[in-house]
Protein backbone atom coordinates (compact mmCIF):
# COMPACT_ATOMS: atom_id res chain seq x y z
CA UNK A 1 0.00 0.00 0.00
CA UNK A 2 1.19 3.48 -0.84
CA UNK A 3 1.67 6.16 1.77
CA UNK A 4 -0.79 9.02 1.63
CA UNK A 5 1.96 11.60 2.15
CA UNK A 6 3.89 10.27 -0.86
CA UNK A 7 0.74 10.38 -2.98
CA UNK A 8 0.05 13.98 -1.96
CA UNK A 9 3.65 15.02 -2.63
CA UNK A 10 3.45 13.48 -6.09
CA UNK A 11 0.14 15.24 -6.76
CA UNK A 12 1.67 18.58 -5.76
CA UNK A 13 4.71 18.02 -7.99
CA UNK A 14 2.56 17.05 -10.96
CA UNK A 15 0.19 19.96 -10.47
CA UNK A 16 3.01 22.49 -10.20
CA UNK A 17 4.68 21.03 -13.28
CA UNK A 18 1.48 20.98 -15.34
CA UNK A 19 0.02 24.33 -14.33
CA UNK A 20 2.58 26.34 -12.38
CA UNK A 21 -0.30 27.67 -10.29
CA UNK A 22 -0.52 28.04 -6.52
CA UNK A 23 -4.26 27.48 -6.21
CA UNK A 24 -5.42 23.89 -6.76
CA UNK A 25 -8.17 23.50 -9.35
CA UNK A 26 -11.02 21.31 -8.06
CA UNK A 27 -11.44 19.55 -11.40
CA UNK A 28 -7.74 18.65 -11.50
CA UNK A 29 -7.81 17.17 -7.99
CA UNK A 30 -11.00 15.22 -8.80
CA UNK A 31 -9.40 13.74 -11.93
CA UNK A 32 -6.24 12.87 -10.02
CA UNK A 33 -8.30 11.34 -7.19
CA UNK A 34 -10.07 9.08 -9.68
CA UNK A 35 -7.24 8.35 -12.14
CA UNK A 36 -4.60 7.41 -9.56
CA UNK A 37 -6.82 5.10 -7.53
CA UNK A 38 -6.90 7.18 -4.39
CA UNK A 39 -10.42 5.90 -3.63
CA UNK A 40 -9.26 2.29 -3.77
CA UNK A 41 -6.10 2.80 -1.71
CA UNK A 42 -7.69 5.09 0.88
CA UNK A 43 -11.42 4.28 1.06
CA UNK A 44 -11.98 6.49 4.10
CA UNK A 45 -10.65 9.58 2.36
CA UNK A 46 -13.16 11.78 0.60
CA UNK A 47 -12.45 13.90 -2.46
CA UNK A 48 -12.94 17.03 -0.38
CA UNK A 49 -10.40 15.88 2.21
CA UNK A 50 -7.95 14.92 -0.53
CA UNK A 51 -8.32 18.32 -2.19
CA UNK A 52 -7.71 20.07 1.14
CA UNK A 53 -4.59 17.98 1.86
CA UNK A 54 -3.14 18.63 -1.58
CA UNK A 55 -3.91 22.37 -1.35
CA UNK A 56 -2.23 22.55 2.06
CA UNK A 57 0.88 20.77 0.75
CA UNK A 58 0.88 22.99 -2.34
CA UNK A 59 0.73 26.12 -0.18
CA UNK A 60 3.58 24.85 2.01
CA UNK A 61 5.64 24.07 -1.09
CA UNK A 62 5.12 27.58 -2.45
CA UNK A 63 6.00 29.14 0.93
CA UNK A 64 9.23 27.10 1.15
CA UNK A 65 10.16 28.18 -2.37
CA UNK A 66 9.54 31.84 -1.54
CA UNK A 67 11.60 31.55 1.65
CA UNK A 68 14.52 30.01 -0.29
CA UNK A 69 14.34 32.86 -2.79
CA UNK A 70 14.38 35.48 0.01
CA UNK A 71 17.35 33.80 1.68
CA UNK A 72 19.25 33.65 -1.60
CA UNK A 73 18.52 37.33 -2.24
CA UNK A 74 19.70 38.25 1.27
CA UNK A 75 22.94 36.31 0.73
CA UNK A 76 23.54 38.11 -2.57
CA UNK A 77 22.95 41.49 -0.96
CA UNK A 78 25.30 40.74 1.94
CA UNK A 79 27.98 39.48 -0.44
CA UNK A 80 27.61 42.55 -2.66
CA UNK A 81 27.88 44.82 0.38
CA UNK A 82 31.33 43.53 1.37
Give the DSSP per-residue string, 35-62.
Answer: HTTHHHH-TT--HHHHHHHHHHHHHHHH
Q: pLDDT in tens for each of the 82 residues of the chain? A: 689 999 999 999 999 999 999 999 999 999 999 999 999 999 999 999 999 999 999 999 999 999 999 999 999 988 887 6
pTM (predicted TM-score): 0.86
SS3 for 8? helix
Residue 1, pLDDT score = 60
| CB contact burial 5-32 (16+ within 10 A = b; e otherwise) | eebbeebbeebeeeeeeeebeeebbeeb
Residue 82, pLDDT score = 65
Amino acid sequence: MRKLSALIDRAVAEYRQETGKEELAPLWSAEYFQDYGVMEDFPGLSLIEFHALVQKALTQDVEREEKRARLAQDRRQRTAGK
